[in-house]
Amino acid sequence: MRLSELMSALGPTGLTEVALLLFLAVFIAVGVRAWRTGADEQDRNARLPLDGDLP
C-alpha cells in the first residue's frame, strides 16, 4: 500500500487524529528531555545567547 492510498483512505477525521498523536509524541519527548537534563546543562544553555563567540 502506498502512502497516497493510505492518506486518501483516512479522511479528514483520521488526519486530525494522526496530527494529534504526532503532536503529543513530540510534546512528551521534549518534556522528557527537558526533565532529564541537569541543572548545570540548563544554566549553560540559558547563558548561550549572552556569551558571544564561545565554541
Residue 55 above 70 pLDDT?
Answer: no
Q: How far is CA 7 from CA 1, 20, 23, 26, in A?
A: 10, 15, 18, 21
Please name the helix (run of DSSP H) or strand (run of DSSP E) that holds residue 6, with its range, or none. Answer: helix 3-36
All structural domains of the chain with their residue ranges: 3-51
pLDDT tens-digit map of 5-52:
877 887 888 889 989 999 999 999 999 999 998 889 888 888 888 877
